[in-house]
Amino acid sequence: MAVSTSRRGGGVLAAVVTAVAALAMLGGVAWGGNPGFTCGPASAQKGFAFCNAALPAEQRAADLVARLTTAEKVGQLGDQAPGVPRLGIPVYKWWSEALHGLAISGKGIHFGNGPARTATSFPQVIHTAAAFDDGLWFRIGQAIGKEGRAFYNLGQAEGLAMWSPNVNIFRDPRWGRGQETPGEDPTTASKYGAAFVKGLQGSSLTNLQTSACCKHITAYDIEEWKGVSRYNFNAKVTPQDLADTYNPPFRSCVVDGKASCIMCAYTLINGVPACASSDLLTKTVRGEWKLDGYTASDCDAVAILHKSEHFTRTAEEAVAVALKAGLDINCGVYMQQNAASALQQGKMTEKDVDKALKNLFAIRMRLGHFDGDPRGNKLYGRLGAADVCTPVHKALALEAARRGVVLLKNDARLLPLRAPTVASAAVIGHNANDILALLGNYYGLPCETTTPFGGIQKYVKSAKFLPGCSSAACDVAATDQATALAKSSDYVFLVMGLSQKQEQEGLDRTSLLLPGKQQALITAVATASKRPVILILLTGGPVDITFAQTNPKIGAILWAGYPGQAGGQAIADVLFGEFNPSGKLPVTWYPEEFTKFTMTDMRMRPDPATGYPGRSYRFYKGKTVYKFGYGLSYSKFACRIVSGAGNSSSYGKAALAGLRAATTPEGDAVYRVDEIGDDRCERLRFPVMVEVQNHGPMDGKHTVLMFVRWSSTDGGRPVRQLIGFRNQHLKVGEKKKLKMEISPCEHLSRARVDGEKVIDRGSHFLMVEEDELEIRFQD
Distance CA 669, CA 156 (A): 59
Contacts of 297 (CB under 8 A, 6+ apart): 263, 264, 275, 322, 327, 329, 330, 331, 332
Closest CA to 735 of 766, 695, 773, 771: 695
Hey, is 133 helix, strand or coil?
A: coil
Q: Is residue 686 a contact partner of residue 645, using CB atoms and an 8 Å limit?
A: yes
Instruction: For the chain, report the end-to-end CA distance as a whole number of angstroms.
Output: 72
CA angle (206, 207, 208) in 5-degree steps: 105
Distance CA 508, CA 503 (A): 6
Cα torsion 328, 331, 337, 341 to 10°: value is -30
Q: 3-state SS string over 381-449? A: CCCCHHHCCCHHHHHHHHHHHHHHCEEEEEHHHCCCCCHHHCCCEEEECCCCCCCHHHHCCCCCCECCC
Distance CA 666, CA 752 (A): 10
Partnered with residue 637 across adjacent β-strands are 694
Contacts of 530 (CB under 8 A, 6+ apart): 486, 487, 489, 490
CA distances to 77, 81, 157, 296, 369 from 92, in Å: 11, 5, 9, 15, 10
Closest CA to 52 of 371, 266, 280, 325: 371
CA distances to 11, 151, 294, 524, 592 from 471, in Å: 18, 34, 42, 18, 22
Q: Is residue 562 a contact partner of residue 440, using CB atoms and an 8 Å limit?
A: yes
CA distances to 593, 718, 757 from 689, in Å: 41, 24, 26
Distance CA 74, CA 494 (A): 55
Residue 185: active-site member: no
368 Rama sector, left if φ>0, alpha if ψ -120 to 50, beta otherwise: left
134, 185, 298, 508: the catalytic one is: 298
59 Rama sector, left if φ>0, alpha if ψ -120 to 50, beta otherwise: alpha
Q: Is residue 281 a contact partner of residue 327, using CB atoms and an 8 Å limit?
A: yes
| DSSP string for residues in 671-693 | EEHHHHHHHHHHHH-EEEEEEEE
Distance CA 720, CA 172 (A): 19
CA distances to 94, 363, 366, 378 from 56, in Å: 22, 11, 9, 18
Partnered with residue 701 across adjacent β-strands are 729
Is cis: bond before 216, omega within 30 of 0?
Answer: yes
Distance CA 695, CA 634 (A): 10
Distance CA 262, CA 656 (A): 36
Sign (positive or negative) of CA dihedral 644, 648, 652, 653: negative
Pairing of strands 762-768, 294-297: unpaired
Distance CA 194, CA 214 (A): 9
Closest CA to 302 of 285, 281, 289, 320: 320
Distance CA 454, CA 701 (A): 26
* Residues classed as catalytic: 298
